[in-house]
Amino acid sequence: MKTADPELMRAINRLSVLDTIRRHGPISRVEISERTELSTTTVSAITASLLDDGLILTRHEGDIRNAAARGRPRVMLEVNPDAARVVGAKIAASRMVFVVANFRGDVLSTLTLPIRIDRQPIAVIADLVEDGVRRCVVDAGLSLEDVDSVCLGIPGVIEHRTGHIRSSPIFREVNIDFAAEMSARLSTPTIIESDAHAITLGHHWFGKARELEDMVLVSLEQTLGLGVLHRNRLFRGAGGLSHNLGDLVLGIGPQGVMRLSSQAGESAILGEQQTDGRFAEAIRLGRGMTHVQALIQADDDRLITAAVRAGEAIGLTIANIVTLFAPPRVILVGSSLALGEPFLNSLRDAYALAIPPSLKGVSELVFDDSTDDFWAQGAAAVALYELYESPWSTTGPAL
């Protein structure tokens, strides 16, 4: 049972005001007061403190109300883009994407390194990540000292709280304290988060869940991940663990346990193909569904069969997740979406079949084929969220 004190109270309300300003663009104090249900007195005090800390800016234009508004015009407040800078990254088996974002979450620069880092030793991967972060920061015309924190989105079972990677397909080792490693290398606070969690928060901040406070996201990449947004926050398991959907069991077959990853993981779908890897690459790039579909159609039916089977397995899994969490929306992301209609249709069909009648209609499925930049931007959002939450001004406006 957490105990409450004035400081906590102040932190909560500060975050509430700052987040309201972030979400609702330039906004006047009156409107903040309405939205947060804080008194105008308090809003005035808090915004003064935020202005003092340089986290927000005033703007004397853009009052959206009736142009013929009488009375003193509202002063609009907005997040100060230059209050901080963070780096967000998506680390995947065949590429790394870096993004430098300002305090508002705007992307200042992007860097994609199409390198296969699969199962390299930690030191090699850490070298590449460090290099990518540094380069991307330089591309943005900044220096690493200008960066307040870094968040790395990594596939696998990530323990955000401790910064440990429990297990990840791109690491040979298990239980690595990667956050400490990278913090030391970059001499900048570095957060580790599951890639699925990162893009979940990304969708909450910038994407297809902006207006929702509860939501579930399923990521279909090399790893099958899950992100749960619960009351505007990432829901992390009891130990602050991320979820790994690929470990879910569908049943026991002749060869032992059949896990979802063996049905619907990227390698399960593509692995049977002994081709030159055109599919894999086209799909991983995540762009040009039509291109991939053309490839699929030109090929024999094996890939299609695999895609249909995968879609079915995932449709069932999503139905099960909806049964457990009953979110108003489920967002699907990831490279596997590029498999196109055969996959999506079987997914939708299996979902429709498997969703219990009593929950029919509570959840809508949304497919999202954002580029990798968006994942990295999501990681940046994770980093920013922690900055938003942090106290900043020691205590009180003082002076």
CA-based nearest residue to 45, from 5, 9, 69, 3: 9
**Would you list the DSSP string of 255-317?**
TEEEEHHHHHSHHHHHTT--S-SHHHHHHHH---HHHHHHHHHHS-HHHHHHHHHHHHHHHHH
Under rule CB under 8 A, residue 326 binds a second copy: yes
Under rule CB under 8 A, residue 214 binds a second copy: yes
What distance lies between CA 60 and its chain's CA centroid?
Answer: 33
- Nearest approach in angstroms of CB 390 to a second copy is 16
Under rule CB under 8 A, residue 53 binds a second copy: no
Contacts of 244 (CB under 8 A, 6+ apart): 156, 157, 223, 224, 225, 226
One of 1, 2, 5, 357 touching DNA (CB under 7 A): 5
Bridge-partner residues for 352, per DSSP?
none
Contact partner at residue 372 from a second copy, DNA, none, CB < 5 to 8 Å by partner kind = none
One of 70, 256, 324, 361 touching DNA (CB under 7 A): 70
Locus of tokens 């663009």: 25
The whole-angstrom separation of Cα 381 and Cα 106 is: 10
Under rule CB under 7 A, residue 48 binds DNA: yes
Under rule CB under 7 A, residue 3 binds DNA: yes
Under rule CB under 8 A, residue 2 binds a second copy: yes
Please choose, out of 28-36, 172-180, 363-371, 374-382, the segment that lies near DNA by the rule CB under 7 A.
28-36
**Helix, strand, or coil here: 203?**
helix
**How many distinct helices (H) and strands (E) make up the chain?**
13, 18
x/- map, 162-191, a second copy, by CB under 8 A: ----xx------x-----------------
Contact between 153 and 375 under an 8 Å Cβ cutoff? The reply is: yes
Under rule CB under 7 A, residue 358 binds DNA: no
x/- map, 19-48, a second copy, by CB under 8 A: xx---------------xxx----------
The whole-angstrom separation of Cα 226 and Cα 204 is: 14
Residue with Cβ nearer DNA (46 or 379)? 46
Site residues for a second copy per CB under 8 A: 1-6, 8-9, 12-13, 15-16, 19-20, 36-38, 157, 166-167, 174, 214, 226, 230, 232, 237-239, 241, 243-245, 247-252, 256-257, 259, 312, 316, 319-321, 323-328, 350, 353-354, 356-359, 362
